[in-house]
Amino acid sequence: IEETLAVFTVASETGIPGLYLIHNFVTEQEEHELLAAVDERPWQGLLKRRVQHYGYEFMYKTRNVDTEQYLGQLPLFLSDLLNRISSLPEVNQAENSLPLDQLTVNEYPPGVGLSPHIDTHSAFYGCIISLSLAGPCIMEFRKYTSGGWSSSKEKDADLGQLDIDLSGVESNVGNQGSIKHPMFERKVLCLPPRSLLLLSEEARYAWHHYIPHHKVDIVNGERIRRSLRRVSFTFRK
């Protein structure tokens, strides 16, 4: 990522409505227990990362869930975490966000990210909630002003293989540390371990979110090497 593009550590500094980041939402002990719980369960391999699905399986080809294939209630080891998430004002203020009934757990090795996408509007209600565990990363947000992310590319984006080629595209630094291209505006947020990210309102419906496929992130001049694994718990309704 260009060093001229500021990496924010506080969500409100991005200026994106509906974007929230709560640092240290879980303790190190809780982080260890959550990771141990999922590691006791079977992982499903994708091309470059591993996943687990609870409640409903996320179908990457259709970017939706099959509501007729119910996998059962979310595991009991998540009960306390779900209660704390459900009590957050930001979640309660987001229309029709509760109860959360779908969880995707992703394990990212170094160098593996997530290509730009917006979670399908019609597939999920309310906000998208993601807990970061085990390692840090940066997340880039892109608001398209022209063009956009084609449906054919979106279908492959969740496999973490595709990205937009911006070589040769002239850019300029915008206000609040953002980069403006002819196609989109960019802002970047650092997601530390144990932090909880909430996407609601404009952040949920208008901004693509993206994890660059890096082994090292540059955060305001500091080189931060990604850990051997980063695990995210992404909750939806």
Residue 157 lies in a domain: yes
Phi, psi of 14 (to 5 degrees): -75, -25
Q: pLDDT at position 181, please?
A: 59
In a domain, 36, yes or no: yes
Q: What is the pTM of this model?
A: 0.83
What does the alpha-carbon distance between residue 221 and residue 235 come to, in Å, rounded to a whole number?
32
pLDDT tens per residue, range 200-215: 999 999 999 999 999 9
Q: 165-180, pLDDT tens digit by residue?
A: 332 223 333 334 555 5
Specify the CATH number for the domain of residue 20. 2.60.120.590
Total tally of structural domains belonging to the chain = 1
202, 17 Cβ separation under 8 angstroms: yes
- Cα separation, 126 vs 93, in Å, equals 9
Q: 1 lies in a domain?
A: no
Q: What is the pLDDT of residue 7?
A: 96
Structural domain contains residue 2: no
The verdict on residue 104 lying in a domain is: yes
Task: Give the mean model confidence (pLDDT) for residues 167-196.
Answer: 66
Give pLDDT tens digits for 103-147.
Answer: 999 999 999 999 898 988 878 889 999 999 999 999 999 998 864
**Would you say 194 and 136 are in contact if contact means Cβ atoms under 8 Å apart?**
no
| Domain residue limits at 94 | 7-161+171-236
Is the dihedral angle over the CA atoms 9, 12, 16, 20 positive or is it negative? positive
Q: Tell whether 166 is covered by a domain.
A: no
Q: 92 CB contacts (<8 Å, ≥6 apart)?
A: 86, 98
Separation in Å, CA 138 to CA 36, 206, 226: 24, 19, 10
